[in-house]
Chains A and B, each alone.
Chain A
Amino acid sequence: MADVLQILPQQLVFGLALGTVYGLIALGYTMVYGVLLMINFAHGEIFMIGAYVGWGVLTALLNAQVGGLHPAWVVPLLLLHAMLVAGLLGVCLERFAYRPLYLRGATRLGPLISAVGASIFLQNAVMVTQGARMKVYMTSLLFPRGWRIQVAGASISALVIVMIMVAGLMMWGLHELVQRTTLGRSIRAVAEDRETAAIMGVNVRRVIAVTFFLGSALGGAAGVLVGLYYTQIDFYMGYSAGLKAFTAAVLGGIGNIKGAMLGGLVLGLVESLAVTFGNPAYKDVVAFIILILTLVFRPTGILGENVAEREKV
């Protein structure tokens, strides 16, 4: 037990870092669900592709033997590329796999099946083109092992601080965008009442596409952060990360942006505690049980609104 308590602070920091990343991915689910009432099952794969793009850029930099690799410019560069590719991919998905369905008025299982198809397609497209073996992020060349600080018995690496800061900054930025700008207002208007938004002159299709771009870009950024942190990525990583982030979105209240961040943090902490005190083999089970319990006992999530009320489209 004493051992466990000794590693507890470390685990909490780990949970915090994990939680901000889950929150970042969860935002993509929650935003898309907000405007389309649809679970974008392929979002986990967009996250995975973000990780691959970041890996590609980092590896290219290393191969080109660019001198003076410093995280201050390399990390933003990786994020930018990953976010752009992931965002555009999200827009393509929306355009070709979901829009024909929602224009036809299909609201039930069609869009979800299409999204499952997209998820499997993207996963295997990466597997076929990049190979099934995992790729390695050379994080140690970017963040030397010595870069860490000691806080309350926990040793926190510079990378973890960067992760939490980047994720926090992006969440704050998104929140400001949605609350304070005209674009943000039109996203909220479409989420609340698509037809009335159209009556105001909002181009609903464009807003939906932009929502996909934003959510997917955040997912792509999360991919880079996870890649840097775990240093190993593979084509399958989006599946469980996606499910956990979806759990975070549901836990916080799907459709609710603050809820996604909160849900991510809670899930990250619970998972790190489960690993500390329980059997690590079952850490994925914890997320699923939280998901099921939330859906059964409080489907609106911690901050959510009534889901049933929003069933109309």
Chain B
Amino acid sequence: MLRLTDVVTHYGPIRVLKAVTLEVRAGEIVCLLGGNASGKSTTMKTILGVVRPTAGRVEFEDRRIDRLPTEAIVRRGVSLVPESRRIFARMTVWENLAMGAFTRQKAPAGELAEDFERVYTLFPRLSERQHQLGGTLSGGEQQMLAVGRALMARPRLLLMDEPSMGLAPALVDQVFDIIQTINRQGTTILVVEQNAAVALSIANRGYVLQNGRIVVHDTARALLAADHIRRAYLGED
């Protein structure tokens, strides 16, 4: 479904991604691991066209998307839950969700109502707080809103950047339960996570990114079992 081939991305003169090659197949949950500044967020932004790759190709459903504007990529069915949530704090919960459906303005009203319904079913709390400003929500609620907002675009591929960041452990489990639910409902997921143990526990496969390159690639089960992965990314000595 998604394929990155030797993708190189620069921030100014700095080469952040040196050669990233990875694949996500339809229906999967794929986990991208890596330490700080390894290029995980940049990979996500490159897929969505927020930053442009300087070399390599990004393909979605067998079509090149690395020259398309972000808008067109979102329309094709890719959306991102950004790092640290990035809720519109001065907009209401409802408005945040409506922003998520920005590219689907021509969708029939009934369809949009269905999507709101789906999000509110997944996250009943958001339904209670529809008219509250995004900035007044708790951290966990903001994460729900960020996920719900991304779902409003009806993505076939959902990119999630550090969904567990800053959440209490109980909430982390809840978020990953929801990720699994979304996946079962038919959305393919690529998730970037520091919390590798939890992420790998629901993923099919995983990639390890280091210094802008993919250094390890295996099934989630194998990664969880591998000693050097456990030491480097699961915080075990």
* Residues of chain A at the chain B interface (Cβ within 8 Å): 182, 185-186, 188-189, 192-193, 195-203
Interface string of B68-106 (1 = CB under 8 A from A): 011100110001101000101111000100111011010
Please indicate the chain A residues that have their CB under 8 angstroms from the CB of B103 in the complex.
200-201
Residue of A nearest to B50 (CB): A198
Contact B99 A186 (CB under 8 A): yes
Contact B71 A201 (CB under 8 A): yes
Checking B75, B80, B95 against A185 with a beta-carbon cut-off of 8 angstroms, the contacting residue is: B95
Return 19 A-B CB contacts under 8 Å, by A number.
Answer: A182-B105, A185-B91, A186-B102, A188-B88, A192-B89, A192-B90, A193-B88, A195-B50, A198-B70, A199-B70, A199-B74, A199-B82, A200-B99, A200-B102, A201-B70, A201-B74, A201-B75, A201-B102, A203-B69
* Residues of chain B at the chain A interface (Cβ within 8 Å): 48, 50, 69-71, 74-75, 79-80, 82, 86, 88-91, 95, 98-100, 102-103, 105, 149, 153
Please indicate the chain A residues that have their CB under 8 angstroms from the CB of B50 in the complex.
195, 198-199
Residue of A nearest to B70 (CB): A198
Residue of A nearest to B104 (CB): A201
Please indicate the chain A residues that have their CB under 8 angstroms from the CB of B91 in the complex.
185, 188-189, 192
Please indicate the chain B residues that have their CB under 8 angstroms from the CB of A202 in the complex.
71, 99, 102
Contact A203 B71 (CB under 8 A): yes
8 further interface pairs, Cβ-Cβ under 8 Å (given A185-B95, A195-B50, A200-B99): A182-B98, A188-B90, A192-B91, A193-B88, A198-B50, A199-B80, A201-B103, A203-B71
Please indicate the chain A residues that have their CB under 8 angstroms from the CB of B75 in the complex.
201
Residue of A nearest to B135 (CB): A192
Please indicate the chain B residues that have their CB under 8 angstroms from the CB of A185 in the complex.
91, 95, 98-99, 102
CB distance from A193 to the nearest CB of B (A): 6
Please indicate the chain A residues that have their CB under 8 angstroms from the CB of B48 in the complex.
199
Q: How far is the CA of A186 from the CA of B103 in the complex (A)?
A: 11
Please indicate the chain A residues that have their CB under 8 angstroms from the CB of B149 in the complex.
200
Please indicate the chain A residues that have their CB under 8 angstroms from the CB of B82 in the complex.
195-196, 199
Contact B90 A200 (CB under 8 A): no
The residue among A195, A198, A199 with the most chain B CB atoms within 10 A of its own CB is A199
The residue among A196, A198, A201 with the most chain B CB atoms within 10 A of its own CB is A201
Please indicate the chain B residues that have their CB under 8 angstroms from the CB of A200 in the complex.
74, 99-100, 102-103, 149, 153
Contact B86 A189 (CB under 8 A): no
Q: How far is the CA of A182 from the CA of B102 in the complex (A)?
A: 8
Please indicate the chain A residues that have their CB under 8 angstroms from the CB of B71 in the complex.
201-203
Please indicate the chain B residues that have their CB under 8 angstroms from the CB of A188 in the complex.
88, 90-91
Checking B69, B79, B86 against A193 with a beta-carbon cut-off of 8 angstroms, the contacting residue is: B86
Please indicate the chain A residues that have their CB under 8 angstroms from the CB of B80 in the complex.
199
Closest 10 CB pairs of A and B: A201-B74, A201-B103, A196-B86, A201-B71, A200-B102, A200-B99, A192-B88, A201-B102, A199-B80, A198-B70
